[in-house]
Structure 1
Amino acid sequence: MKAVPYAWAARPSVAAAAAAAEAAAAAAAAEAAAESADEEAFVWDKEEANELLQLLQRRDAAPYLRAQQQRQQQLLQQQLLQQQQHQTDGLPLQQSMRSPQHQQQQSFAAATTPTAFESSRGPHNASAEATAAAATAAAAPSPSAAAAATTAAGDSLFWYVPSEGCYTTKPVYIPLLQLLREQQQQRRAAAAEQQKRQQQQQHQQQLLLLQQRMQTGAPQGLLLEAEAYVAAALLRRRLQLTAANKKLDGRQQSLL
C-alpha cells in the first residue's frame, strides 16, 4: 500500500496564528503604554510649570502686598486718631467717618502703584538706588564701571529690571528651580523604569505563551497528520475493494 500524499504542512498552524495575534496585541499594548507615559510626562511638565508660575507670582506680589498691608495699618491708625480728634472737638461722627473712608479708598488705589512700593520700602531706597546705579554702570563698556556696579549692587536684596519695570530677588530663588528640575528628572526616570519593566514583563509573557503553544501544538499536529494519513489510506483501500468487487461481478456475469 502506497502512502497517500497529504499536504498538512501547507496548512496554517492554529498555534502560529494565535501567537501572531498575541504578539500584535502585546505590541499595541506597548504602544499604548508609551503614549500614556508621554501624556503623563506632559501633564507633569504642565503641572510643574503652573506651580513655578504661581511661585513666581507670589514672589513678585509679596513686596506690594506687604506695602499695602503696612499702608492699611497706617490708614487705620490715622482714622482712629481722626475719630478721637473729632470726638474731642465735638464734630458729628458721620463726617468723621466719611472723610477717612474717602481717604482710605484713595490711599488703597495709590498703595498698589510701584511708586508707593518704592516709598514704603524706607531703608531699602538706598539699596534700590545702588542697584539702579549698578545696572546703568554695567551698561558702560569700561571694566572699572562694571566692577563699581558689581560692588554697589552687592548688598542689595533686590535687583531692579528696567525692561520689566519691577524688582526681582537675588539668585536665592535658584535652588528652588534646581529642586523642581531634580523632581522632574526623578519622575521621568521612574516613568522610564516602569515602562521598561512593563515591556520586559510583556516580552516574558509572550515567550511563555509561545513555549506553551509549541509544547501543546506539536503533538496535536502530529496526531492530526496521523489521523489524516489513516483516513486517506482507508479511503484508498475502500476504493480498491469496490473496484475489485466490480471486476468480480463482471466476470461472474460474463460466465453466466
Structure 2
Amino acid sequence: MQTGSTGIKVFKGSVEIKTQKAEETVKEGKTADIVKSDISISDLEAESLNDFNIDKALIADKDGHHLCFSKDDINKVTAGRKKQIEKTEKEEEDHKREVIEAGEKGLSSDSKTSGISEKINTCTIQIRCDSILSNMESLKAGKERFVPSNGVILASSAVEFRDGETGFDVLKRACSSAGIQLEYSYTPAYGSYYIEGINNLYEFDCGSRSGWMYTVNGWAPNYGCSSYEMKKGDVIVWNYTCNGI
C-alpha cells in the first residue's frame, strides 16, 4: 500500500490483465506493475524474486518444469543475498562495537569531536494493526493469531541508525531486534523495496484495499520506505490499513 501498486510475475505461459484504463497480455518472463489503473511491463529478473518465489521456482525446477530463468540464475541471486546479509550483519556488529567504544570513552551523541558519534542517530519506530480490529470479519481465516488484542505489534521503540540509512534499514533492524517476521521484495520499476508482510500480515489479508503503509512525523511519503533517508529524531509509524488510506 506504500505506493498504491501491485505486481504480477509470469514464470510460464501468459496472463491477461484488465484495469479501468488498460488491457495487457503479460507473457512468460515478464512482470507487470499496476499503479492505480496504469500497467507497465518489464523483463522479469531473478533479482526481483522474493524468498517465496524462489522456493517455488526451485520446486518447479526439481519437478522438471521449464521456467523463464535457470536454476543457476536463482542460485546466483540467493548467493548474492547471503553475502549481503552477512555484510549487513557485520556492519551492525561494527556499529554496536563503535557505540560501546564511544560510551566507554564518555562521548555524548552530539559530540563534535568524534567522527563515530556524529554518524550515530536515533529515531523512534512503531508497528500497528489497529484497523484490523474493526474489520475482523474481512480478515482471512487463520490470521487472527497474528493480530495483538491491542493492535500494537511493536510499541514505540528507539532505534539507532547511521547517516544515509533509510526507513527500510530501520524497519529491518527493528523487526530483527524484536523477533518480528518481515517479508519484502525489490521492485525494479520503482527502484525500491516493497513491504509485503509484517508479523505474517500481508497485503489483501483484510480486504482488497488492505496492506502496509508508513508515516514519518505524521506525513505519509508517496514512495517506498527504502527511498526515504532517515533523519535524527524521526518518528516512523507502520500501520496496517484496511481501507487504502
TM-score, shorter chain, exceeding 0.5? no
Class of the TM-score when normalised by the shorter of the 2 chains: under 0.3
User: Which one has a larger percent helix, Structure 1 or Structure 2?
Assistant: 1
Bigger Rg, structure 1 or 2: 1
User: Quick one: higher RCO (CA 8 Å, sep 6+), 1 or 2?
Assistant: 1
TM-score, normalised with respect to structure 1: 0.21
User: Which one has a larger percent strand, Structure 1 or Structure 2?
Assistant: 2
